């Protein structure tokens, strides 16, 4: 922290797990509400957290202030699958972004996404991709403000 209560964006550490687990419960509850056929609220395993922290193709970032960790972002680097019809490119996939309800509207999400983009560029990524779930209008508006645009759509039908 910088002594003024402002959040600092940094790489996540093992000891951040309890705060990050609480943030993940928030985002898991939202996803379970938006898409209950796909998501449910459940306990996440700390082993998953440990694997993320040592994965050389991934980064875990947090925003922390005098209250602890109030924001979390996870991303991974992917290569285009070997397919002669696809243009080879390295991309970053923003897998998770959550800012605690009490810390929103302070620019923390933007700062986390900026730091993620900086890290992804150092890994040779040329773009960042992400998904949002239908009905998550706040996330859609946030990403649009950051310059993200629709690349594809995923359709489904019950069988």
Best CATH choice for the domain 8-145 from the list 3.20.20.70, 3.40.630.30, 3.40.50.300, 3.30.300.30: 3.40.630.30
pLDDT in tens, the chain (159 residues): 444 468 899 999 999 999 999 999 999 999 999 999 999 998 899 999 999 999 999 999 999 998 899 999 999 999 999 999 999 999 999 999 999 998 999 999 999 999 999 999 999 999 999 999 999 999 999 999 999 999 999 898 989
Domain regions of the chain by residue span:
8-145
Q: What is the pTM of this model?
A: 0.92
Long-range contacts of 74-80 (CB under 8 A, 24+ apart): 75/116, 75/119, 75/120, 75/128, 77/120, 77/123, 77/124, 77/125
In the 3-class helix/strand/coil scheme, how is 45-91 assigned residue by residue? CHHHHHHHHHCCCEEEEEEEECCEEEEEEEEEEEECCCCCCCCCCEE
């Amino acid at each position: 922290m910088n002594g003024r209560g402002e959040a600092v964006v940094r790489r996540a550490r093992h000891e951040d797990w309890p705060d990050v687990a609480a943030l993940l419960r928030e985002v898991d509850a939202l996803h379970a509400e938006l898409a209950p056929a796909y998501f449910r609220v459940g306990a996440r395993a700390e082993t998953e957290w440990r694997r993320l922290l040592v994965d050389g193709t991934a980064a875990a970032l947090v925003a922390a202030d005098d209250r602890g960790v109030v924001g979390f972002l996870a991303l991974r680097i992917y290569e285009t699958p070997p397919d002669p019809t696809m243009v080879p490119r390295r991309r970053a996939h923003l897998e998770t972004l959550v800012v605690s309800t009490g810390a929103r509207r302070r620019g923390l999400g933007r700062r986390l996404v900026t730091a993620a983009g900086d890290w992804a560029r150092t890994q040779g990524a040329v773009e960042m991709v992400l998904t949002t779930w239908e009905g998550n209008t706040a996330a859609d508006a946030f990403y649009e403000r950051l310059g993200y645009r629709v690349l594809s759509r995923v359709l489904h039908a019950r069988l």
